[in-house]
Amino acid sequence: MARIVQPDAAGIAEAVDALRRGEVIGLPTETVYGLAADATNDTAVRRIFSVKGRPETHPLIVHVAEAIELANLTTEVTPLTRALTQTFWPGPLTVIVRANQKVSRAVTGGRDTVAVRCPAHPVAHAVIHALGCPVAAPSANRFGAVSPTTATHVVVDLGNDIDIVLDGGECEIGLESTIIDCTSDSLEVLRPGAVTVEQLHTLTATLSDSSEQRVSDGTASESRAPGMMQSHYAPRARLVLHEPGDHFDTDGAPVLDFSGDLSTAAHTLYARLRALDASHIALAHVIVPPPGGLGQAIRDRLTKAAAGG
Ligand code: AMP
Ligand code: MG
- pLDDT one-digit tens code per residue, 229-244: 888 899 999 999 999 9
**Looking at the CA of 94, which ligand is closest?**
1
* Whether residue 138 is found in the same domain as residue 245: no
CA distances from 220 to 40, 96, 189, 300 (A): 28, 13, 8, 12
Distance from the alpha carbon of residue 226 to the mean position of ligand 1, in angstroms: 6
Do residue 137 and residue 57 come from a single domain? yes
- CATH code assigned at 143: 3.90.870.10
What range does the domain containing 303 cover? 238-308
Same structural domain for residues 142 and 245? Answer: no
Residue 242 is predicted with a pLDDT of: 98
Between strands 113-117 and 93-98, the pairing is: antiparallel
Ligand 1 mutation pick, 190, 222, 223, max ligand atoms within 8 A of CB: 190
Determine whether the shortest distance from the Cβ of 97 to ligand 1 is under 6 A: no
Asked whether residue 158 falls in the same domain as residue 253, the answer is no
**226: Cβ below 6 Å to ligand 1?**
yes
Supply angle C-alpha 113, 62, 264, rounded to 5: 115
- What pLDDT, on the 0 to 100 scale, is given for residue 7? 98
Starting from the CA of residue 227, give the closest ligand: 1
231 within a domain of the structure (yes/no): no
pLDDT-based confidence at residue 126 (cuts at 50, 70, 90): very high
Determine, yes or no, domain membership for 142.
Answer: yes
Average pLDDT (26-39) is 98
Mutate to test the pocket of ligand 1, among 49, 58, 173, 304 (most ligand atoms within 8 A of CB): 58
Domain contains 222: no
Q: Are residues 26 and 132 part of one domain?
A: yes
Per-residue confidence (pLDDT) for residue 309, from 0 to 100: 59
User: What confidence tens digit (pLDDT) does each residue in 84-101 have?
Assistant: 999 999 999 999 999 999
Beta carbon of 26 within 6 Å of any ligand 1 atom: no
**Band of residue 213 on the pLDDT scale cut at 50, 70, 90:** low
- Same structural domain for residues 24 and 160? yes
> Residue 241: CB partners within 8 Å, gap ≥ 6?
286, 288, 302, 303, 306
How much is the pLDDT for 190?
96
Q: Look at the chain and count its residues.
A: 309
Q: Domain end: 103, 138, 166, which one? A: 166
Looking at the structure of the chain, the number of domains it has is 2
With a 6 Å cutoff on the Cβ, whether 46 touches ligand 1 is no
- pLDDT of amino acid 230: 84
pTM: 0.96
The whole-number average pLDDT for the span 47-60 is 96
Q: What is the spatial distance between Cα 261 and Cα 295, in angstroms, rounded to a whole number? A: 10
Ligand 1: does its nearest atom lie under 6 Å from the Cβ of 58?
A: yes
In a domain? residue 8: yes
How much is the pLDDT for 231?
A: 84
pLDDT per residue over 148-204, tens digit each?
A: 999 999 999 999 999 999 999 999 999 999 999 999 988 999 999 999 999 999 999
Predicted confidence (pLDDT) per residue in 251-304, tens digit: 999 999 999 999 999 999 999 999 999 999 999 999 999 999 999 999 999 999
Q: Do 147 and 259 lie in a common domain?
A: no
For residue 133 and ligand 1, the question of a CB distance below 6 A is answered with no
pLDDT band at 221 (very low <50, low <70, confident <90, very high): confident
Domain boundary among 124, 139, 166: 166
Cα 230–chain centre separation = 16
Average pLDDT score, the chain? 95
In a domain, 242, yes or no: yes
Same domain, 61 and 159: yes
Instruction: Please state the rounded mean pLDDT for residues 13-26.
Output: 98
Q: What percent of the chain has pLDDT over 70?
A: 97
